[in-house]
Amino acid sequence: MKSPQLSSRGLNMLRHIPKVFKHPLFIFAITIGGAAIGFLQPDLAINLNLLGSIYLNLLKFCIGPIVLSCVALGIFDLLSQRSSWWFIIRLIGFLVVGIAACAAIATAIGLIAAPGKSMSEDTLRSLGVILNANIVDFSLNLNGVNTIPPPEPIFQTLLHQLIPDNAIAPLVANETLKLIVVSGILGVGMAFIPRDKAENLRSLLISLRLTFNKILLLLTYILPFALFSIVSYTVATVDGEIFLGLLTFIIATIAGFFLISALSIGLIILRSKEKFSLTLSSLLQVSVVALATQSVMATLPQALNSLSEDVKASNNEVNISLPLIMTLGRFGNVAYFAIATILAVFIYNKTLGLSLVLVAILLNIFSGIATAGAVGIATLTMLGITLEVLQIPTETMVTLLIIIDPIIAPVRVLLTVLVSMVVAAWAAPLDSEVKHPEPLLDTVLT
């Protein structure tokens, strides 16, 4: 008699499991648990990393098809169905405002926190030990010839990274920037062929996107376990010495980034026509994926779904704009460079005036954007653009940033994702606002 009751209770509980897995408190508990294991049992945490890396690979496996389908469909719809130059102007405007705001807010946070100001001898000593271990002996010929590889101009490098020589290669190599260009060209091409002929490819792209969306949905069920593995691994591999050495800087950066992220969530909620709780819950889920995966593009599918389904922003505009913004608008890097510049200014006792602050903000916008083509640690070397102009030693600063990157990377990704969503949400019209304007393609052709 009891077993049917039990089984129905069990089924009931099973039905609730997905909800439990997505609950913020559960995610928080998992994060704390992962951090504890990483701290107390680092060897176990390193062994557990397998699950996290499998999850990340599965996420990355979905990025290519989703970017391809989103951008191609977005461009195609933009040119052939309904959109306007106004959207493009708004997009550029919000992108510029977003980047400038990130640089300014982060600089202000840096100035308030003043990381690197009057560092203790012990702190400098521990940082020095780390630097000595990481900086290779520099040697040169005083009288002989010193050969160095010629520097590649940033603009040329960016162009080189933008233009693919093979339509399939960017998809295979997960080169997002080139994939966006390939997808854009595909979308433009589709708009130039007869509508009925393009429809087959359009349907295929829609199917592709829906399929991978479903795969992503299924992946969210193993997210907590992956999160546990990723967090524990990160904590196990972080250098405690440097964490203590740059404690003020790390705390200021994390706090500042969370502040900008919270502002972003507020702005998206303000834009959303859905219930506050629903939008907030959706954005928190995106945030968790961003923090866990530490990859902006790995968060793209979730962010697209969140904006389209929960914020109710226009599907086409979001599909086309968000991948582009996430790739080009390196908000996290801009903000990070701003705080790091202030740290360097204090460490090297540079005279801090209004002109220096303004120059630093401008330079950091430029160096942050220059990271668009770079991936991983290479992005941090772009800070050199700012520091060289300000005549601050670059090598030591970049080395320190590289060492603490495992701690900062999650919040930097979070900031980039959420600010990108703000720009896309405010640039794209809401579904309710769409008034079916003239096809952009006609305007272009005439």
Partner 1 sequence: MKNNFLTRILPSLLRSFFSQKLAKNRSPQWLVLVSAIALLFVIGGNWHIPARSNGFDTPVLIASDCPTEATPASNAQTEANAVEAPAPIATSVSNVKANTDASETPALVAKTEIAPYPSDVQRLIQQGYMTVGTLGFDTPPFYFEQNGKLQGSDMELARNIGKLLDLEVRFDRNSPTFSDLIEKTARGEVDMAIGKLSVTMPRLKQLHASPSYIKFKQALLINRTQLATLGGKDSQSIQQILREEPIEIGVIGRSSYQRYAEQNFPNAKIVGFKSWTEATEAVEKGDVFAIYRDEAEIKKIMLGQPQLALKLKSVLFNDLEDNKAIFVNVNNPQLAHIIDHVLTDVYEPWTTERLIEEFHEVFTNPEFASK
Task: Tell me the C-alpha distance between 104 and 360, whole Å.
Answer: 10
The amino acid at 301 = P
Task: Tell me the C-alpha distance between 204 and 183, whole Å.
Answer: 14
**Residue 133 or 217 with smaller CB distance to partner 1:** 133
**Residue 75 or 347 with smaller CB distance to partner 1:** 347
Task: Tell me the C-alpha distance between 129 and 13, whole Å.
Answer: 53
**Residue 257 or 346 with smaller CB distance to partner 1:** 346
Least separation in angstroms between CB 130 and partner 1: 8
**Residue 154 or 185 with smaller CB distance to partner 1:** 154
DSSP 135: S
Burial class (CB in 10 A: 0-12, 13-18, 19+), 261: buried
Least separation in angstroms between CB 379 and partner 1: 19
Q: 């200021």: which residue's tokens?
A: 252
**Residue 5 or 349 with smaller CB distance to partner 1:** 349
Give residue 264's Cα distance to chain centre.
14
121-134 and 394-427 helices, crossing angle to 10°: 90
Least separation in angstroms between CB 150 and partner 1: 11
**Residue 5 or 118 with smaller CB distance to partner 1:** 118
CB atoms within 10 A of CB 241: 14
Give φ, ψ of 102 to 5 degrees: -60, -45
Instruction: List residues binding partner 1 (CB under 8 A).
Output: 121, 124-129, 131-132, 135, 137-144, 146, 148, 347-349, 387-388, 391-396
Least separation in angstroms between CB 408 and partner 1: 19
Least separation in angstroms between CB 395 and partner 1: 7
**Residue 25 or 142 with smaller CB distance to partner 1:** 142
Q: Is the dihedral of CA 120, 121, 124, 126 positive or negative?
A: negative
Least separation in angstroms between CB 127 and partner 1: 6
The amino acid at 300 = L
Least separation in angstroms between CB 120 and partner 1: 10
CB atoms within 10 A of CB 428: 29
**Residue 182 or 401 with smaller CB distance to partner 1:** 401
Length of the chain equals: 446
Least separation in angstroms between CB 144 and partner 1: 5
Q: What is the 3-state secondary structure (H, E, C) of 334-368?
A: HHHHHHHHHHHHHHCCCCCCHHHHHHHHHHHHHHH
Least separation in angstroms between CB 261 and partner 1: 31
Least separation in angstroms between CB 209 and partner 1: 46
Least separation in angstroms between CB 394 and partner 1: 7
Give DSSP secondary structure letters for 291-334. Answer: HHH--HHHHHHHHHHIIIIIS-B-HHHHHHHHHHHHHH--HHHH
**Residue 69 or 126 with smaller CB distance to partner 1:** 126
Q: Which residues of 38-56 are buried (b: 16+ CB within 10 A; e: fewer)?
A: beeebeebeebbebbeebb
DSSP three-state, residue 104: helix
Burial class (CB in 10 A: 0-12, 13-18, 19+), 121: exposed
**Residue 139 or 200 with smaller CB distance to partner 1:** 139
Query: Among residues 297, 299, 279, which one has the least CA distance to residue 288?
Result: 299
Q: Let me know: does 180 contact 324? Beta carbons within 8 Å.
A: yes
**Residue 46 or 390 with smaller CB distance to partner 1:** 390
